[in-house]
Structure 1
Amino acid sequence: MKLKFKMMIVTILSATLLMAGCGGQQTAAPKAEDYVLKVGYAGSLCEGPIHMAYEKGFFAEEGLKVELVKLAAGGPMFEAVTAGKIEAGFGLMASLIQPLSNGLPVKITTGLHTGCDKVLVPQNSGINTVADLKGKRIGVPSLTSSPVMFAKRALAAAGVGVSEKNLEVEFVVFSNSELPLALQKGAIDAIAANDPVASIAAQEYNLNILLDSAVTAPYHDQYCCVAYVKDTLAKNNPEIAAKYTRAMQKASAYVAQHPEEVAKIQVEKKYVAGNAEFNGKVLKTYNYIPSVSGAYNAFGVTAAELQNVGMLGAAADVPALHKNSFVTLPGVPDTIK
């Protein structure tokens, strides 16, 4: 009986170890060469680095397999990260700051370019400076969008109240297609919008560009768009995150050198709507020099100003948020030109 009992124990232990071994094989992390990274994109003009990293082979050059996932702009992108539908993406840094403060599980890995927000006014409107917007109605695509953040930062710097306690302008929400029509009909006095919507509206409706984050100081030196990865990817697969980041840096530098070609590919491949020639001219106004430190420095300035205008919670620890929102990855250079 003792012998039979011992044999039973050995059999059970062997089966347990075998099952554990099988389970380990099933849950083992995939090898880098087998990993397929899901990258989200929304189809905006300034997302050129994602489009070119895919189309011109920069992802492949890094030995990275990628699945591009088309998403709507704004909130759905963040929901997709949280739900695990994507693991990496491209975002407007100002729009990332409050979600990061609320626990959005991503890490910024590099800055990609400056520019892409504008404030427009009609010709002969009498609005010649930012301070002239005091008491005016400004049309925006949403109350939490990057354009409204840009406008509020500039207004506050000009001494115009934008907080709930001292609101000296009115922000009115319209869809992107309705913004120039609302301005033309006098329902609003100015528009704050992203490109290419803003640049197209300026051309088609003969509008003055009052503010342009690509050329207006000090914003023209501040990175607006960044690459990011899910925090678990950065922690568990830093090499994959680094490959993605380096490919995006290379692609960003490529956009700087070939804006007309990039715009043509974007339209032909249906990443972006519009006229390729016009889009190429807009891309030329952005500073596509990828920079890790550039993004880091811009984050600190932007976060502090957003907290000042009430678009980042007063209780947020800006220095801690600043530090925790970035990750240093192996083999990622500070910049590529």
Structure 2
Amino acid sequence: MLKHTLALALIACASLAHGADQPLRVGWVFAMANAPALIADKKGFYAAEGLNVELRQFGDGPVLQQAVAAGELDIAYVGAPPVYQWASRGLEAKIIAKVNYGQAALLADAASPLKTLADLRGKRLASLPKGSGMDVLLRGFVLREHARLDPDRDLSIVAMPPANMPAALERHVVDAAFTFEPFVSQSLLRGKTRLLLDVNQALPNHPWYVIAALPATLSARPADVVKLLRAHARAVAFLKDHPAEANRLIAGAFKLEPVQTANGATISAEAIVQEARRRLGWSARLEPADLQFIERLMDYSSALGFMGKPVKVADLVDTSFQRRAEQGGN
């Protein structure tokens, strides 16, 4: 596996010789928390920086990793766990900026007898694929640290797409579901589920999605990377300063449909996005506390057996491009 990954990494580095005149290929995990990528595109912030950006969306971090390893992307909006897990297996990448904080929650059916996380013992829990960033957060923090449960012995974790989880809860295929926005808000607003745990309340403002780049990208196109980070920062500011317009753009990009509540009321797509903002937010700047949390995630991954060689946070993060973007340089 390691040799295969290294070979793909060499392909990726070679492909970056396509030159600065080509589009900057940006992949992003299709989650509401990664909204700065679509906002920067929709509002023309990339174009304002003179960047030709080719955006590609992916369902999860592992699938995006395959595109990075195959040399199909230059930049990735992805969870921190996939980045350090790539690095531990020979596919080096640098985290160069933050995208958001929060997004995840644990849901139960509204009529479920579950009261606490400890009640998950012996139950079936829907989640994202094993080894994904969300899976690391679930197994490492939610179950082992918060609930004091062994994720491999004390309950059954069932991998499934987030869109399938509400139906699985309602049909009692599973007893609880660990998912992210907008799926959390859609489910809650229908009135058929309830929160067991809002992770952003348990871990206030913890970083989740980050911007990562291969060293070859940083070396071959440093000015474009700085421009992208400036556009990214503008998008984060827009999300904060113009919430109504931002909510409309997000609702449209995610093709959200109005939700019918249990009492027959209709909740608009924009209101779903506004509800999601209760559990997530956006921030472009990597702070020391963010790096400490990434190190905590790395400890979870190591304990869960998801890591190859050891990786140091200091070797994983490069904030120099962030500083250049903030200072107005190239």
Normalising by structure 1, report the TM-score. Answer: 0.79
Query: What are the superposed Cα offsets for residues 234-273 of structure 1, whole Å, 9 maximum, x if unpaired?
Result: 12322222221222122122212223311212343x3554
2:195 match: 209
Give the C-alpha shift of residue 65 in structure 1.
2.1
1:294-333 matches, within 5 Å, as: 294-308=289-303, 310-313=304-307, 316-318=309-311, 320=312, 322-330=313-321, 331-333=324-326
1:76-91 matches, within 5 Å, as: 76-91=63-78
2:39 match: 52
Is 1:39 the counterpart of 2:26 in the alignment?
yes
Is 1:244 the counterpart of 2:228 in the alignment?
yes
Partner Cα distance (1:29, 1:73) in 2: 26
Alignment CA distance shift 1:286-1:256 (3 Å): farther
Give the C-alpha shift of residue 35 in structure 1.
4.8
1:253 match: 237
Contact 1:115 1:223 (8 Å CA) reproduced: yes
Contact 2:182 2:273 (8 Å CA) reproduced: yes
1:2-17 matches, within 5 Å, as: none
1:15 match: none
Alignment CA distance shift 1:28-1:317 (3 Å): closer
Contact 1:110 1:295 (8 Å CA) reproduced: no
Is 1:125 the counterpart of 2:120 in the alignment?
no
Is 1:139 the counterpart of 2:126 in the alignment?
yes
Give the C-alpha shift of residue 159 in structure 1.
5.1
Question: Partner letter of residue 317 of structure 1?
Answer: P
Partner Cα distance (1:35, 1:43) in 2: 24
* SS of residue paired to 2:25: strand
Partner Cα distance (1:59, 1:90) in 2: 15
Partner Cα distance (1:210, 1:144) in 2: 23
Structure 1 stretch 53-62 or stretch 182-191: which is displaced more? 53-62
Alignment CA distance shift 1:284-1:58 (3 Å): farther
2:281 match: 287
Partner Cα distance (2:188, 2:91) in 1: 34
Partner Cα distance (2:299, 2:217) in 1: 28
Contact 2:143 2:151 (8 Å CA) reproduced: no
Question: Partner letter of residue 37 of structure 2?
Answer: I
Q: Could you list the runs of 5+ residues in structure 2 that have no partner in the other structure?
A: 1-15, 258-268
Question: Partner letter of residue 256 of structure 1?
Answer: K
Alignment CA distance shift 1:201-1:135 (3 Å): same
Give the C-alpha shift of residue 120 in structure 1.
0.4
Contact 2:34 2:99 (8 Å CA) reproduced: no
Residue 89 (structure 2) aligned to one of 102, 110, 113: 102
Is 1:197 the counterpart of 2:183 in the alignment?
yes
User: Identity of paired residues, percent?
Assistant: 22
* SS of residue paired to 2:173: coil
Question: Partner letter of residue 202 of structure 1?
Answer: L
Higher Cα Rg: structure 1 or 2?
1
Partner Cα distance (1:213, 1:28) in 2: 41
Contact 1:137 1:171 (8 Å CA) reproduced: yes
Partner Cα distance (1:78, 1:97) in 2: 11
Partner Cα distance (2:103, 2:122) in 1: 25
Alignment CA distance shift 1:96-1:47 (3 Å): same
Give the C-alpha shift of residue 226 in structure 1.
0.8
Alignment CA distance shift 1:207-1:173 (3 Å): same
Query: What are the superposed Cα offsets for residues 51-70 of structure 1, whole Å, 9 maximum, x if unpaired?
Result: 11112222233332212224
Q: Could you list the runs of 5+ residues in structure 1 that have no partner in the other structure?
A: 1-26
2:174 match: 188
Contact 1:226 1:295 (8 Å CA) reproduced: no
* SS of residue paired to 2:178: strand
